[in-house]
Structures are given as C-alpha cells and as structure tokens.
Chains A and B, each alone.
Chain A
Amino acid sequence: MSSAVEWINIGSIDEIPLRGARRLCVTLNGRPLAIFRTGDDRLFALVDVCPHKKGPLSEGIISGTTVTCPLHNWNIRLDDGKAVGPDEGDTMSLPVKIAGGDVLVGLPVETGASV
C-alpha cells in the first residue's frame, strides 16, 4: 500500500551541517521542506512546519534525534515528525536514502511537489 514516491537529489551530505539542517528549495503543496543531520550522521526529512505555531524547525537546535523548535521550544522527533509529550501534534516526515554518494528525499507523488 506504499504510495508512489518521487525521489529528488539534494547533493552531498556535506552540504548539511552536523547537528544542523537545511531548507530545500522545493516545497510540498506550498509547505517548506527541510533535511536534518544528527550528530551520528543520520539524515531525516520533514515538512519544515512546527505543529505548534508553524515555526521553522530547520532553525532549531538538534540533539539526539529530536529538534527543538526555535519559537516556543517544542521538541519534535526527527524520525516520525511527532511532538515529544506532553505536547501533541506532528509534521509529515519524508523518506531519505543515499545513492551514489548523494542524498535523495522522497516526495509523495499524488500531492505534487512544485520545484
């Protein structure tokens, strides 16, 4: 039942700072996307919109596999986009894979990305 995914190439992992994030130039239905790199070099992609009041998660501090939203300090899990309790809410997470040394992010197709 996995819906179709369109992969986009965002280049080398070195473009993303360790324990940092970058916003992508593509959006998903008008919503910004970001790629996150943890201290142990794992990569996660999320819709860059905090479930609280739409803060830009890519500007937050990343520790372990969570990011702290810069606006009001909610903690969002990078792996599934869910807020860490007691806060509730989530943002969409997208698949990431590495191919030929490049980082690829999967966008759901039906929703249509606009580059």
Chain B
Amino acid sequence: MNMHPISQRLVVIGNGMAAMRTVEELLKISGGLGHRVTVFGAEPYVNYNRILLSSVLAGDKSTDEIVINSREWYGDNNIELFTGDPVVSIDCASRTVVAQSGRLVSYDRLLIATGSRPLAPPIPGLSLPGVCAFRDIADVQKMIASSGMHRRAVVIGGGLLGLEAAWGLKRRGMSVAVVHLMPTLMERQLDASAGQLLQRDLDRRGIAFFINGQTEEIIGNERAEGVVLADGREIPADLVVLAVGIRPNIDLARQAGLEINRGIVVTDDVRTSDPDIFSVGECVEHRGQVFGLVAPIWDQAKTCAAQLAGDPSSVFTSRAISTRLKITGIDVFSAGALMAAEASDEEITLRDDNRGIYKKVVLRENKVAGAVLYGEVSEGNWYLQLMQDGTDISVFRDRLIFGRGFAEQATGERIGSDAGSLPDDAQICGCNGVSKSTIICAIRDKKLASLEEVRAHTKASASCGQCTDLVKSLLSQTAGIDDDAKTPPVCGCTGAGHDEIRRAILERGLKTMDAVRQVFHWKKPDGCHKCRPALNYYLLCAWPGEYRDDAQSRFVNERVHANIQKDGTYSVVPRMWGGLTTPGELRAIADVAEKFSIPTVKVTGGQRIDLLGVKKDHLPDVWRDLNKAGLVSGHAYGKALRTVKTCVGSEWCRFGTQDSTGLGVKLEKLCWGAWTPHKVKLAVSGCPRNCAEATIKDLGVVCVDAGYDIVVGGNGGVTVRVTDHLVRVSREEEVLEYAGAFLQLYREEAWYLERTAPWIARVGIAYVKQRLIEDADGRRQLYARFLHAQSFVQSDPWAARAAGAEKHEYSTLMAEPV
C-alpha cells in the first residue's frame, strides 16, 4: 500500500525551449533517475534554439546549427520522444493525455509547455499562400523559399520580431517594407527618440517604413499580391510576414479545465490549479505577468525541475530583464521603465546625433528604474545590474549616464558587481541559460582560448550577444586571455585569425596555401570561398614575385579582369589617369562600343567611363582595340587600386594652390596594379574646397599654399567616414613616399576585405602615425617594399589576355556527339 512506484511517469507537452530546459535541469538534479519522461512535440523536429531563427533567416546559421539536443541525446537519456504529434486532449481525472495520432499515455506528473502562438490581426486574406508568421522552422523555410523566387516582402509589425524578419529578408535580397501601427518602432522596448534613430538607421539600410499604418486587408487572387492600409495606400508584396505579437497557447489547458486567464495561471512553484500539472514558458501567467523572452523562462525551468525532484523550497520570482535587437551593426538595449511615469521619476538623457548615440536612464528614488540605449550599448549590463541590485546612485548621479568607468573615477571604488564578484551560479547568458561556473569549468577543463571557443563549447553569448563582455571578462580572469587582442577567425575552416596567419606566413616561411592550411589544421582540405581569396592575397603580399597567383582562388571579377553583371555579361572600365582623357581615347571607346554593340556607356562616379554589358567572349577583342589607343585595365573589378580622382587645380582653377591633376596622375602611375586587402581609392584636391572629395577617400591629398595635407582612412560607401589627418608635407616627392608607405602598411597589416576606414578605426590613427611619421626609417623601408612589389605587377593584364593568355576563360568548351 505504501510502496511508491520506483519511477514516476512525467509527460511533457511541447518540445520547445522551456520544456526541454526543464528536462535538462531535472536530469542534472536526478541524473535521470526517478522519472520516465515522455515528450510530445507538435513540430517535426528535435528541440532547437528558437531565438536563432533570426540568424537562420539572415543566412548566418543553418537549421542544423541551431539544434539544441539531437535525437541521440533523447535516446541516451531514455527520453521517449514523439515529434510531429501534438497532444489534443488532457484528462485530469484519469491522468491521461491523447495525441493526434491516437496515442494515449498516462502520467503521474504532467508538464505543459506549449509556448505561444503568433497573433493574427482580424483582416481578410490571411489564408492566402505567401502569408506567414515568424515563429518556427516551417515559417523560416517558407520565407527563405519565397526570397529565392520573389522580390517584394511586407512585414506587418515593427517590433523586435518584425524588424529581425525584415532585416533577414533584406539580407536575402528582397525589397522589404514594414507596416507598423504605432508612431515609433519597438515602442514597447524603446522610447520615441531611440525608436526614431532605429528607424533612420534601418531606413538607410534600405528598409521602407509605413508608420501609423493600419493594415486593412491582404489582397491577392492565387496568392498574396499586396497589403492595403486603412488610409487607402496599397503596398505590393509577394510575401507578407505577420509579426504583430504573440498570445499564450492555452487551448489544451482550457479544455482540461485548468485555471486560465491570459495564460495558464501558475503559482510561485510553477504549478497550475491541478497540483500534478506544472507549466512553464510563454504559455504561463505568473502573478498577472506573461513572458516573451527566455531569461525568466530559464528560472521557471529551474524551479519546475526542483519541484519535480521533490524540493519544495525552490520558487520562481520574476526579475528585471533586458532586450536587445539581433541585427548586426545596430545596437539597441532596453530594460525596465522606458520613461518617467511617476511624479518622483527623473530622466537623464544624452544624445549625440552626429555619432548616432542616444542614452536614457530612468531614476526612481535614487535608483535605476530603466534604461534605453541606442548606438552605444556597452554599459547596458551595468545599468541592468544596478537595477537588479537596487543600488543607490546618488553619489555618482551626475556621472551615471557616462558609464561605469567614469562613475567609478568619482567614487574611487567598484560600483556593482563585475563578472569576478558574481556568485558561481549567477546566470551569465540569458539566452542559453549558462551560469558562471559552467563557463569557468569549460575554460579550465577544455583549455579554451578564445571567445569563439567558449561560444562553441558552452553556447554562452552565442545567441543575442548581450553578455559578450561578461564572457570575455571571465575568459581573461580564468585563463588570462584577452580576447579583444584576438582577431575573429578567417572563416569556418579554421580557428586562426588573420594576424596569426599573416605572421606565420612570414615567420615560418609558408609559401603555399596548402602549407598554411596544414600548419593551422584547416577543416576542409581546399578551404572555402572565404579563406581561399584571403590566403592567396596574404601569400602574394608576403612573397612578391615569388608566390604564383592562384586564379582559381580569386573571385570571378579578379580572375577574368572584368566585373560580372547580374545577367552574366561583363563591364569594362579602362584607366583614365587622374580623370584625364584625350580625343583619341574617347574615339577608341566610341568605336569599341559600336563594333561590339555594347548596350551602355556610362561615366562612373570615379571619373572614367564604364562599358557595360560586354559578352564574355568579346572581352579579349574589346581589350585589344582599347589597348591600341593606349587604354589599359582600370582594375574596377579588383581588390586593388581603383581610381585617383582629381580636380583641375592650379592649372586652370582660380583657387587652385598646386597642380592637383598632375599629382593625381603621378600617384596613379605609382600605385596602379597593386593588390590590396580591399579596394583602394585616392583623390587630390587643389584647395580646401575639396572638389575631388579627398576627405572620404582611402588616401586623400588636399593642396594648400604651404604644401600638401595627406589624409587617410576615409570612406564614402556604406558607412561614411571622414579621413584622419596624417601629415602635412611640402613637396610632391614626399607625398609619393607617404602614399606608397601608407599603402604598404595597409597591404601588410589589414585583414582581407577590410578597407582602410575600418582598419584605421581598429588600429587607431596614432598607430599609423607612429609607423609613418615617428619611425622615418620604417617609412622608407615600407616605401621600398612597396616599390619592389609594384615592379612585379605593373603590366597590363588586359594586354596579356588580348594576346591569348588564359584563353580558356573566354571561350566555351567544344563538344561533339560520340
């Protein structure tokens, strides 16, 4: 009579993040003894990290990479798993559940973790093909397939999910519009100022916004064709993604007669109104609160596991949490109150429109009650900590907004805990629920030496990245490794970073790609499309005249010396030294265009002429004709010197101080043909009016009465960056020496595909000055190495090909029937 069953049967409904985390926690406590576990999942997959669906959509991860537990794991732990078989009813009286397949299972304890469902707005057209939500793998697969076949997407909802969906689709080449009901984006996490900055930045990335847009209908016959707004506007769309919110999935619980409200009501021990039935995750409601982020869900899972294992003392309390948007390059942080709400509340804000930075901290009775950060979020975790700890901030109130370092200068002591002083069981990574002790043990036991390795082994900071700083500081405390000094790996084939590889090439005299791949234990014998061009460049730069360029490791444009166009034809851009041309050259270009029926002739933004739409097999003949008029390759296709823009300068202009045109030509003659980590553009302006836009070039020269100002590290592309001033010199020869030395430093030390702007942002202009100005000898050596390298590359690649080199590139392979 008083014999207890050796093991209890635990049935779990839902195979999602909350459910399986609970089972994992339970296994940790009991080692799998005491319970026989059966899991039902509606989806046909093992459990995966839902958070990373955004990364899958954006193409950064595959679905395989987001799996949390493989089928083997379920097997190894004796967990019975039924996927693709949702539970359709619960009978609390007989303690049984029935699944869609008809399978009937009885339980001693039941766990409901059915998550939530996407909200569907009450509008016509929802069932048309081409309309989907953003919740599970099936949705993401639909979106990916659609992006391959269709062009236009509309995302309804400008919250966290909607924006991540929009960005992913944009990355996949679709044109994307977001319809948002409210006046600003992410209004539940951001105040109006931050929301506007976010909209501005996404707008610049090419996402269109319909703010205050109420969707009235999705139109279409066979499939979705567009979205109609209440004000009559109509947005064409081949794909419509709904991301207007989520609703706890409580249907089963309602049918079973459990107490429900917005969610399944649970008490502090995460029990439902039936003491044998537990519930965790987005389907629950605890003290009136429902949940949409994983951090609190991990705490519920812990409590649930402890309760199941017979520890009644474990209770769930909900803590302050923060959110971040997972869009590369857009930094948003938000926690707690968004703005002053009560009379005693105060706000401290800091705004720098130029740098796109906005920070707001909300104070309540001298404590932090909330923070909204945009553009610069490194202090986010500190504010969250101050919030969670209820720290009194009155002593450093005036410094609070400038961050921890500045505040601590005033108090002279640590404010709030840092990674080192956190307790061992403190949760470091909210997304993956990884504790401090787990990370430290992994670093010690597996001798981990980089952030990437810690991510791979523990998953800490591998999802939203919010805890990256904390993980880095644990790495440095535990293993003494400062990951900031470490470069990211070149690609997935290796753990080694760019600098490490470049150093080894020189120090160990590695002269082939195979040798490099061997030394660094490459995972794939012949690398991939990312590392091959990088290694080819590094070897070429290290061993000029000696290493033989590998055409097959070059991107098509560099291999065939012309730019591939979207229809598979090519463009041809001959060099026009310093933007100068002659009637003879123009005549040759006109003749070639007519002779080969080249559809488009365009003046480029780089002061020269582009012939677009040339058939590949015509290329050698086109080049031959251009060569005859003295025109050579403009390297418009290469990670190489592109253009040297000039203005008319002192020869004609009434303001010109020096011969900017002549100097531009000299610079181009000096530098053409050089292969570089990324493309390089130069310009020379004749006076500070700067008509050649020298201050957004990789290297610019601005002529002044007293000589020449050399400026470096500018960029006019995706992220505009104004140059840093390097030096003022008085003679043209000095300009040439500095330019050559600067380019050589860039060639030798930047990472492949890193332009001078991000390179200088990384190493600092002070470093460049030290190498080029303070170390005058070093500068002369750099210049000498540059000239040496140039001696091998300054022959026109077009001439060689017009004369028959690499013939196989420009002809098809003959075939005959057998």
Please encode chain A, from 1 to 21, with 1 for each CB lying within 8 Å of some chain B CB and 0 for all others: 000001111110001111110
Q: State A19–B575 Cα separation when bound (angstroms).
A: 31
Q: State A15–B660 Cα separation when bound (angstroms).
A: 49
Residues of A within 8 A of B559 (CB): 59
Whether the Cβ atoms of A52 and B148 lie closer than 8 Å is yes
Residue of A nearest to B57 (CB): A86
Q: State A115–B56 Cα separation when bound (angstroms).
A: 42
CB of B568 within 8 Å of the partner chain: yes
The residue that B529 contacts in the complex, of A6, A39, A60, A71, with Cβ under 8 A, is: A60
Minimum CB–CB distance for B529 against chain A, Å:
4
Q: State A42–B352 Cα separation when bound (angstroms).
A: 58
Residues of A within 8 A of B148 (CB): 51-53, 87-89
CB of A56 within 8 Å of the partner chain: yes
CB of B261 within 8 Å of the partner chain: no
Residues of B within 8 A of A96 (CB): none
Whether the Cβ atoms of A63 and B529 lie closer than 8 Å is yes
Query: Mostly helix, strand, loop or mixed at chain B's interface?
Result: mixed
- Indicate the size class of the contact surface on chain B: 35 or more
Whether the Cβ atoms of B818 and A64 lie closer than 8 Å is no
Q: State A18–B213 Cα separation when bound (angstroms).
A: 56
A39-B526, A86-B59, A88-B148 known; A8 vs B816 contact (CB < 8 Å): yes
Residues of B within 8 A of A99 (CB): 818
A16-B813, A17-B552 known; A64 vs B526 contact (CB < 8 Å): yes
Residue of A nearest to B560 (CB): A59
B 507-524 contacts with A by CB, 8 A:
524
CB of B356 within 8 Å of the partner chain: no
Minimum CB–CB distance for B545 against chain A, Å:
23
Whether the Cβ atoms of B144 and A17 lie closer than 8 Å is no
Please encode chain B, from 620 to 636, with 1 for each CB lying within 8 Å of some chain A CB and 0 for all others: 00000000000000000
Whether the Cβ atoms of B812 and A24 lie closer than 8 Å is yes
Whether the Cβ atoms of B568 and A86 lie closer than 8 Å is no
CB of A93 within 8 Å of the partner chain: no
CB of B586 within 8 Å of the partner chain: no
Whether the Cβ atoms of A62 and B552 lie closer than 8 Å is yes
Residues of B within 8 A of A10 (CB): 813-815
Residues of A within 8 A of B528 (CB): 61, 63-64, 68
Whether the Cβ atoms of B815 and A105 lie closer than 8 Å is yes
A 11-56 contacts with B by CB, 8 A:
11, 15-20, 22-26, 35, 39, 51-56
Whether the Cβ atoms of B815 and A71 lie closer than 8 Å is no
Residues of A within 8 A of B61 (CB): 86
Residues of B within 8 A of A115 (CB): 815, 817
Whether the Cβ atoms of A88 and B552 lie closer than 8 Å is no
The residue that B526 contacts in the complex, of A17, A63, A85, A104, with Cβ under 8 A, is: A63
Whether the Cβ atoms of A19 and B552 lie closer than 8 Å is yes
A56-B568, A59-B564 known; A25 vs B812 contact (CB < 8 Å): yes
Q: State A10–B812 Cα separation when bound (angstroms).
A: 10
Minimum CB–CB distance for A75 against chain B, Å:
8
- Indicate the size class of the contact surface on chain A: 35 or more
The residue that B814 contacts in the complex, of A18, A20, A25, A72, with Cβ under 8 A, is: A25
Residues of A within 8 A of B527 (CB): 63
Residue of A nearest to B56 (CB): A86
CB of A108 within 8 Å of the partner chain: no
Residue of B nearest to A89 (CB): B148
Whether the Cβ atoms of B566 and A35 lie closer than 8 Å is no
Whether the Cβ atoms of A87 and B144 lie closer than 8 Å is yes
Q: State A56–B61 Cα separation when bound (angstroms).
A: 25
Residues of A within 8 A of B140 (CB): 86
Residues of A within 8 A of B526 (CB): 19, 39, 63-64
Q: State A17–B806 Cα separation when bound (angstroms).
A: 10
Residue of B nearest to A102 (CB): B818
A10-B813, A23-B812, A55-B568 known; A63 vs B141 contact (CB < 8 Å): no
Residues of B within 8 A of A61 (CB): 528-529, 532-533, 552-555
Whether the Cβ atoms of B173 and A11 lie closer than 8 Å is no
CB of B64 within 8 Å of the partner chain: yes
CB of B556 within 8 Å of the partner chain: yes
Q: State A61–B62 Cα separation when bound (angstroms).
A: 21
Whether the Cβ atoms of B816 and A24 lie closer than 8 Å is no
Q: State A73–B172 Cα separation when bound (angstroms).
A: 11
Minimum CB–CB distance for A35 against chain B, Å:
7
Minimum CB–CB distance for B523 against chain A, Å:
10
Q: State A61–B524 Cα separation when bound (angstroms).
A: 14
Residues of B within 8 A of A16 (CB): 808, 813
Residues of B within 8 A of A75 (CB): 529
CB of B123 within 8 Å of the partner chain: no
Whether the Cβ atoms of A24 and B815 lie closer than 8 Å is yes
Whether the Cβ atoms of A11 and B814 lie closer than 8 Å is yes
The residue that A63 contacts in the complex, of B532, B554, B560, B812, with Cβ under 8 A, is: B532
Residues of A within 8 A of B566 (CB): 53, 71
Whether the Cβ atoms of A63 and B524 lie closer than 8 Å is yes
The residue that B525 contacts in the complex, of A39, A53, A71, A73, with Cβ under 8 A, is: A39
- Determine which residue in A20, A56, A63, A104 has the highest number of CB atoms from chain B within 10 A of its CB, and name it: A63
Q: State A18–B514 Cα separation when bound (angstroms).
A: 15
Whether the Cβ atoms of B62 and A85 lie closer than 8 Å is yes
CB of B145 within 8 Å of the partner chain: yes
CB of B437 within 8 Å of the partner chain: no
The residue that A73 contacts in the complex, of B56, B529, B808, with Cβ under 8 A, is: B529
Q: State A60–B552 Cα separation when bound (angstroms).
A: 9
Whether the Cβ atoms of B813 and A88 lie closer than 8 Å is no
Whether the Cβ atoms of B59 and A35 lie closer than 8 Å is no
Residues of A within 8 A of B175 (CB): none
CB of B63 within 8 Å of the partner chain: yes
Whether the Cβ atoms of A17 and B556 lie closer than 8 Å is no
CB of B551 within 8 Å of the partner chain: yes
Minimum CB–CB distance for A52 against chain B, Å:
6
Residue of B nearest to A67 (CB): B529
Whether the Cβ atoms of B552 and A70 lie closer than 8 Å is no
Residue of A nearest to B526 (CB): A39
Residues of A within 8 A of B813 (CB): 10-11, 15-16, 22-25, 35
Q: State A19–B59 Cα separation when bound (angstroms).
A: 25
B 343-371 contacts with A by CB, 8 A:
none
Q: State A63–B141 Cα separation when bound (angstroms).
A: 26
Whether the Cβ atoms of A18 and B552 lie closer than 8 Å is yes
Residues of B within 8 A of A89 (CB): 148
Minimum CB–CB distance for B227 against chain A, Å:
24
A 90-104 contacts with B by CB, 8 A:
99, 104
A86-B56, A86-B144 known; A60 vs B814 contact (CB < 8 Å): no
Q: State A76–B560 Cα separation when bound (angstroms).
A: 21
B 533-592 contacts with A by CB, 8 A:
533, 551-557, 559-560, 564, 566, 568
Whether the Cβ atoms of A71 and B564 lie closer than 8 Å is yes
Q: State A19–B557 Cα separation when bound (angstroms).
A: 16
- Determine which residue in A6, A9, A104 has the highest number of CB atoms from chain B within 10 A of its CB, and name it: A9
- Determine which residue in B56, B140, B555 has the highest number of CB atoms from chain A within 10 A of its CB, and name it: B555
Minimum CB–CB distance for B412 against chain A, Å:
52
Residue of B nearest to A9 (CB): B818
Residues of B within 8 A of A85 (CB): 62-64
Residue of A nearest to B531 (CB): A63
Q: State A25–B528 Cα separation when bound (angstroms).
A: 28
Whether the Cβ atoms of A104 and B818 lie closer than 8 Å is yes
Residues of A within 8 A of B552 (CB): 17-20, 61-62
Whether the Cβ atoms of B141 and A88 lie closer than 8 Å is yes
Whether the Cβ atoms of A88 and B144 lie closer than 8 Å is yes
Q: State A28–B568 Cα separation when bound (angstroms).
A: 18
Please encode chain B, from 636 to 678, with 1 for each CB lying within 8 Å of some chain A CB and 0 for all others: 0000000000000000000000000000000000000000000
Whether the Cβ atoms of B818 and A17 lie closer than 8 Å is no
Q: 9 tightest CB-CB pairs across the interface, nearest first? A: A68-B529, A59-B556, A61-B529, A19-B552, A70-B556, A25-B812, A22-B813, A8-B815, A39-B526
What are 10 pairs between A and B in contact, CB < 8 Å? A8-B817, A10-B815, A15-B813, A16-B813, A17-B551, A26-B815, A60-B556, A63-B528, A68-B529, A71-B566
A61-B528, A88-B148, A99-B818 known; 7 new pairs, CB 8 Å cut-off, are: A11-B813, A19-B526, A52-B148, A60-B556, A63-B529, A71-B564, A73-B529
